Amino acid sequence: MRFAVLALACLAAPLTAQSLPVEDATMQRIWTLGMDSSETWSLAQTLADSIGPRLNASARHKAGNDWLLSMYRKWGIEARNEQYGTWRGWDRGVTHLDLLTPRVRTLEAMMLAWSPGTPRGRPVEAGIVTLPEVTDSASFQRWLPSVRGKFVLTSQPLLTCRPDTNVKAFATPENYTRFQREVTAARDSFTQRLRRTGLQTPALHDAIAAAGARGILTSLWSQGWGVQKIFGTRVTSVPVVDISCEDYGLLWRLAERNQGPTVRLTAVARALGEVPVFNTIAVIPGTEKPNEYVMLSAHFDSWDGSSGATDNATGTVTMLEAMRILKQAYPRPKRTILVGHWGGEEQGLNGSRAFMADHAEIVRGLQALFNQDNGTGRVTTISTSGFPGAGEFFGRWLGRVPTEISQLITLRVPGNPPGGGSDMASAVCHGAPGFSLSSIGWEYGTYTWHTNRDTFDKIMFDEIRNNATLTAMMAYLASEDPETMPRDRRVMGMGQNGQRQQWPECTTPARKSADSQR
C-alpha cells in the first residue's frame, strides 16, 4: 500500500469570497453563518476575559461549564454537565512579592496552582537562600535545617533572559558560539547540583517545606521575552511561587553575593477539598442514523497563569461556534452530532478518557471525531491518525470545502495514532476514528502554551472563524456520508529498539486527585 501526503495547498488566500466546488445549499449556509455572521469574538471575550482561566476543579471551571449550558440552551441545543469524577478544588487569589532589601522593587511573581497561600493571606517577610552546592545527599540533609524561616530559590538562574534567537541575531558568530557553550555548561552544572541532593523536584520541594522554609521560589522561563510557564505544585504547607526570569536572576545574584536580600510575600489561595468535575456535552440528535456519531472535541480546562485563551478557549470557541452554525444550517443531521468540552485534559486527558470509557455505544458508533487544541492559528494539517482508509473520506470531504479553506490544508495519510497530547487520543486508543485539526503555530509553544501571557489579545479571529467554519462543514459532510469510516489500522513502524511499535493502549482515567499520584 502506498502511503501519501496530499498537499491541498500551501498559501493562504484572503477569505473575502468563497468558491464551493459543488453546489450545496447547506455548505453555502454554513459559510455565510461562519464567515459573515460569526459570534467567535463575543464568545471568546466572555470566556477568556469574564470567566477567565478554567483550572480543573476550580470555581471558574464550573462557572464555565454552566455558561456553556446557557449558550447551548439559548440556541435550542440539548446540553448537560456530566460528572466524570472529582478533583482537588482550589481557587487563586492575589500574589504580591516585593524586594525590600538591599533596595525596594515590586517583583513579577505568581504562585503555582494548588499552592497554599501565606498564613491567613497576610504578608510574610523573610530572607532568601539559594539551593546549595552539596557533595551528596547526606550533606544536603545536613544543610536543610538552615532553611527555617527563609525563602528558598530552587530553580536554575539563567545567564540571560534574552531569547536565543535574539542573541544569535546580534552577536558575532564567535561570541554566539561561546554563549552556547556557557549556557550548556551552566545547565549541566545546575543539573548536577540538583542530582547531588538525592531528590527529584517534587520531593525536593517537600523536604524544603518540611524543614520550615517560609516559601519556595521557582522560575520556569518559556524562552521568550517576559514569558513564564505556570504549572502546579503538590506542596501543601508553604507557598510555591514562580518569579519572572529577570527578577529571579536578581534575587539569586543578591543572595549568592551575600548582599542581604529580603522579600515580602502576600499570597491568597483557597483550598476547596475534593470537588465534582464535569464534561459539558451538547447534542443535535440524528434523524436517520441516530446511533452513529460525529463528535466535535476540545478540552475546556486550562492552567491558570493567565486566561487560558489559546489553550484552549480557541478550541472551545471553535466547537461552540460550529455547533451554533450547525443548529441553524443543518438542524436535522443524518447522524447524531455531539460535542465534548472536556475537563481534566491537563492532568492526563481524564475527562475525555472517562467519557469514552463510560460511553461504549458512542465509541462503537463513532463516524469521526474532530479535535482542536493547539493555539490560535488556522488549521493547516489533518493526520488520519493511523487509519489508512480515512484518507479517501477526507479527500472526498475536503474536495467539497471552499478552496479558500481547503487550499490551506495538508492531509497526512496514514499518519500515526496519537498516544496522548490531546483528546483525540482517547478515541483512537479504542480503535475509533479521532482526528486532530492541527493549526499553524503563531509561536504558541513559546508565548502562550501554559504561560502567563495566554490572553484574549493573542487570539487571531480570522483564523478562528476559518476553523469554526471548517469544523461545521466537516461535521456536516461526515454526517451525510453514506459510507461508514473504516477502522483498519496501519502497519506500525519499527521503533528505535528494533521492535515493531504497537497501537496505543487506553489509559485508565484518573477519577479523583489521589489517582494521579499512583
With bands split at pLDDT 50, 70 and 90, how would you rate the model's confidence at 18?
A: low
Q: State the cell numbers at 85.
A: 469524577
Distance CA 245, CA 158 (A): 7
Kindly state whether residue 150 falls inside one of the protein's structural domains. Answer: yes
| Whether residues 443 and 341 fall in one domain | yes
d(CA 68, CA 278): 12
Is the separation of the CB atoms in 113 and 90 below 8 Å? yes
Q: Strand pairing of 124-130 and 105-107?
A: unpaired
**In this structure, is residue 42 part of a structural domain?**
yes
Q: How would you class 282 by CB atoms within 10 Å of its CB: exposed for 0-12, middle for 13-18, buried for 19 or more?
A: buried
The domain boundary, picked from 236, 260, 284, lies at 260
Structural domain ending residue among the three candidates 205, 235, 260: 260
394 and 432 fall within a common domain:
yes
Query: Are residues 175 and 244 both part of a single domain?
Result: yes
What pLDDT, in 10s, does the model give residues 214-273?
A: 999 999 999 999 999 999 999 999 999 999 999 999 999 999 999 999 999 999 999 999
Nearest-angstrom CA–CA distance, 162 and 178? 15
Q: Is residue 243 part of a domain?
A: yes
At 414, which amino acid appears? P
pLDDT digits (tens, 9 = 90+) for 395-428: 999 999 999 999 999 999 999 999 999 999 999 9
Structural domain of residue 122, as residue ranges? 103-260
- Is the pLDDT assigned to residue 13 strictly greater than 80? no
Confidence of residue 19 (pLDDT cuts 50, 70, 90): confident
How far is CA 319 from each of CA 68, 324, 326, 339, rounded to the nearest angstrom? 11, 9, 10, 7
pLDDT digits (tens, 9 = 90+) for 309-338: 999 999 999 999 999 999 999 999 999 999
Please give the tally of structural domains in the chain. Answer: 2
Tell me the per-residue pLDDT of 287-301, one tens digit each, with 9 for 90 and over.
999 999 999 999 999
Question: Which of 260, 293, 316 is at the close of a domain?
Answer: 260
63 occurs within a structural domain = yes
Q: Are both 338 and 233 inside the same structural domain? A: no
* Mean pLDDT value across residues 269-286: 97
CA distances from 214 to 262, 269, 380 (A): 12, 16, 48
Coil/strand/helix, residue 339: strand
Considering the domain architecture, whether residues 62 and 108 belong to the same structural domain is answered as: no
Q: Residue 174 maps to which CATH number?
A: 3.50.30
pLDDT in tens, 158-213: 999 999 999 999 999 999 999 999 999 999 999 999 999 999 999 999 999 999 99
Q: Does residue 2 register a pLDDT over 60?
A: no
CATH number at residue 391: 3.40.630.10
46 and 161 share one domain: no
Residue 53 · residue 300 · CB < 8 Å? no
Are residue 81 and residue 140 in the same domain, yes or no?
no
Alpha-carbon Rg of the chain, whole angstroms?
A: 25
HSE, CB side, 13 Å, CA atoms: give it for residue 35. Answer: 17
309 strand-pairing partners: none
Q: Do 299 and 351 have their domain in common?
A: yes
Q: Which DSSP category does 35 fall into? A: I
- Let me know whether 144 and 229 are in one domain: yes
- 75-115 confidence digits (pLDDT tens): 999 999 999 999 999 999 999 999 999 999 999 999 999 99
Q: Which residues contact 194 (CB under 8 A, 6 or more apart)?
A: 131, 201, 204
Structural domain includes residue 268? no
pLDDT of 10 reads 34
Q: Which three cell numbers stand for residue 48?
A: 477568556
Where would I find the beta strands (DSSP E) of 251-333?
262-284, 289-299
Share of the chain above pLDDT 70, in %: 96
- CB contact set of 20 (below 8 Å; sequence gap of 6+): 27, 28, 31, 400, 402
Residue 22 has pLDDT above 80, yes or no: yes
Same domain, 291 and 214: no
511/350 Cα distance (integer angstroms): 7
pLDDT at 15 over 60: no
Q: Predicted confidence band at 515 (pLDDT cuts at 50, 70, 90)?
A: confident
DSSP letter assigned to residue 368: E
Give the Cα separation of 328 and 26 in Å (integer): 10
Residue 42 CB partners (closer than 8 Å, separation 6+): none
